[in-house]
Amino acid sequence: MSSIGTTQNSYLYTGEQFDAGVGQYYLRDRYYNQAIGRFTRSDTWEGNTNNPLSLNKYLYANGNPLAFVDPSGRTAVLDGDIVHEVIGKHFVSEDRINRVYDPRSSQNPGVKVIQQNILRILRRSLGDENESGVRYRNSARPDLTDFKLREIYEVKPRTQLSKAQNQLNRDLAALNLRDPQRWFAGVTYKSYPSVIPITGTNRFALVSTYGPGLIIYDRIGYDEDSPLVLISVAFIRAVEKSQIDLLVSNTRLQASLSRGFF
């Protein structure tokens, strides 16, 4: 037995169930009053003392559903954390021996878990991650590191492009100052996922490279009536049309050349 219908969900809560009877959204096992921006019942998860916003038992996505998501119903996660995780895991999956990435913590949004910092990279490059004789005061941590090719990458949203470039330059300067073997801004990792869905939302990230060592992404919100999506769809259609036109043109050219040799 099943039923099909429509709900009047606003853009911010697309994908969640709207109860027209009470005029509130039903997010997993609690009702959410969008008018006051809080749940009507307390969260059963105790929260994390390192993330004060998670201690609020009535807040959804840290009160900022445009930047955060709550796919587990327990704690908010930044869109960017999901993008970093997907790219990082894919990067390592291609070479589990020589590649590492800094995973993001689901309990502490925006915080890298493993301190794969410049010091550890230098120690490993010189042969021993635990070598106490190698000291360097630098807390910078590249997002992706390839020890075989000696390449590093920064993963950032397009809005932080300048920050990404500056951080990449600092990391390279720090590594090349102490390591006798040269490090480079990465250029070989090109198989990254080009489209990454943001779990728990109707948003997704478009991933691309901007230059050596820089992997950037744009977050796109999906809403059928939004100008952004209409523009995106129009752009995709234009690209498809140009590709078709080019294919037809090349086919005609090849046919013309073929006739000329017979």
pLDDT of amino acid 233: 47
Residues found in the chain? 262
Q: Tell me the backbone φ, ψ of residue 217, rounded to 5 degrees.
A: -145, 150
pTM score > 0.85 for this model? no
> Within this chain, do residues 19 and 31 fall inside the same structural domain, yes or no?
yes
* Residues spanned by the domain of 232: 225-262
> Within this chain, do residues 146 and 214 fall inside the same structural domain, yes or no?
yes
Give the chain's radius of gyration (CA, Å): 24
Q: Identify the residue with better confidence: 189 or 204.
A: 189
C-alpha span between 151 and 147 (Å, rounded) = 7
As for how many domains the chain has, the answer is 3
> Within this chain, do residues 138 and 172 fall inside the same structural domain, yes or no?
yes
pLDDT of amino acid 155: 94
Q: Tell me the backbone φ, ψ of residue 20, rounded to 5 degrees.
A: -65, -25
Listed residues 188, 205, 221: the one ending a domain: 221
pLDDT band at 240 (very low <50, low <70, confident <90, very high): very low
Q: Tell me the backbone φ, ψ of residue 182, rounded to 5 degrees.
A: -75, 140
pLDDT of amino acid 153: 95
Q: How far is CA 17 from the centre of its chain?
A: 26
Q: Is the distance from CB of 164 to CB of 216 less than 8 angstroms?
A: yes
The rounded mean pLDDT for the chain is: 70
> Within this chain, do residues 88 and 214 fall inside the same structural domain, yes or no?
yes
State mean pLDDT over 60-79: 63
